[in-house]
Structure 1
Amino acid sequence: MTTLTDQRVITFYEDDRLHLQDRHHDGLIITLFIANHYVPRILVDGGSSVNIIQVDVLKKMNIPETEITPRSSILIGFSGETKNTLGDIKLPIYIEGVNSFQKFCVIDNLSCCNVILGWPWIHEMKVVALTYHQCIKLPTLLGVAKIYSDQAEARNCYTSSMKPAAKADDRITI
């Protein structure tokens, strides 16, 4: 049996690291175009089984809460903490000629980022994420797209997650 395969090859080079501040242990924090808005502080998290967005981010995007499909679920974090969702919403994400509609769990707040993109987005978009290179690459109709992580923002996220809880308005920027 013969199968057709996508011939695009995703490769990482040392040149992909020229912009980095080394020695780092930074997470992947990117900015993407979601629902016609540039949204910063997006954590690409290969350990998350869902995509997550803050309700305050939706408000800043002028997306009414009536667009959220009410459904309460419990999310369990890495350290065992639990968070109830307010519901789900589907939003478009645009990257270099590719639109994908992603389902997000809506929650009242995250520790430091506006959005978490987990397995659903990573797998659907065939994203290859490397923290060492501080970038993600994915196949598009126009070739391989490369999106660099913002190391300064990643460090701000880390620092703010280590501080006592700040006001919600201090964490959310679009």
Structure 2
Amino acid sequence: MSVARLPARDISRDPRSSRQAAPPILGFLDEDKVGTIQPHDDALVITLRIEGYDVKRVMVDQGSAVEIIYPDLYKGLNLKLDDLTPYYSPLVSFEGRVVTPKGQIRLLVQTGSEVVEVDFIVVDVYSPYTAIVARPWLHTLEAISSTLHQKVKYPSEGRVCEIRGDQSSARQCLVAAIRYEPETESSVRAEGDL
């Protein structure tokens, strides 16, 4: 009679093991609305650390598939046209206009202790925001966002971390967008101007 030996099972990695720590649960409760002005329909506008700088007026748009930076941030980071890689796909603006990007650039975005590389599309159009982060950034961080609760939550080192939105900044951006009157569009600007 022969006895077959089964390989030892590593129970530390087995999801059925009670010794494995449960991952943090991401979600929102009514308590997460404390400190916000309710009711509201404000965009989720946060401050992020991009390339070592605290950048205000960053909109979180979970409905978008691309991250965007606008001229103010582009200039503020001292980026040049030579820093961009080609990006040939046109984008559609909030107003429904087709926008031709200037290019793409990969920048480091820090959220707490988490640092991720984000591919931003550079566009030369007016926006009250300095940047938009979207689904790729959220998915890389394994984050969820809530405009109602004015927060982004993400797991980090076994706990749930959060970024609070700035409703005052969101409202200022909305007013700026409403008051904005386009002069002549960016096509009148000198080539290479950002």
- Would you identify which runs of 4 or more consecutive aligned residues in structure 1 move more than 4 Å? 2-6
Q: Name the % identity.
A: 30
Q: Does 1:29 align with 2:45?
A: yes
Which has the larger share of strand?
Answer: 1
Secondary structure at the aligned position of 2:96 is classed as coil
Contact 1:47 1:119 in 2 (8 A): yes
Residue 34 of structure 2 aligns with which residue? 18
Contact 1:26 1:155 in 2 (8 A): yes
With 38-47 and 157-166 compared, the bigger mean Cα shift is at 157-166
Residue 131 of structure 2 aligns with which residue? 115
Q: Deviations over 1:69-89 (max 9, x none)?
A: 133431013442211100000
Letter of the structure 2 residue corresponding to residue 35 of structure 1 = E
Q: Deviations over 1:24-76 (max 9, x none)?
A: 11010000000000001001001111000013312212233321113343101
Query: Aligned pair in 2 of structure 1 residues 3, 111: CA closer, same or farther (>3 Å)?
Result: farther
Residue 146 of structure 1 aligns with which residue? 162
With 146-155 and 76-85 compared, the bigger mean Cα shift is at 76-85
Task: Give the alignment's Cα RMSD to 1 decimal.
Answer: 2.2
Distance 1:79 1:165 in 2: 13
Structure 1, unpaired ranges of 5+: 168-174
Contact 2:91 2:101 in 1 (8 A): yes
Larger Rg: 2
Q: 1:60 aligns with which of 64, 76, 91?
A: 76
Query: Aligned pair in 2 of structure 1 residues 112, 61: CA closer, same or farther (>3 Å)?
Result: same
Structure 2, unpaired ranges of 5+: 1-12, 16-20, 184-194
TM-score (norm 2): 0.78
Q: Deviations over 1:133-174 (max 9, x none)?
A: 11110111262111111000111111111113379xxxxxxx
Residue 40 of structure 1 aligns with which residue? 56
Residue 175 of structure 2 aligns with which residue? 159
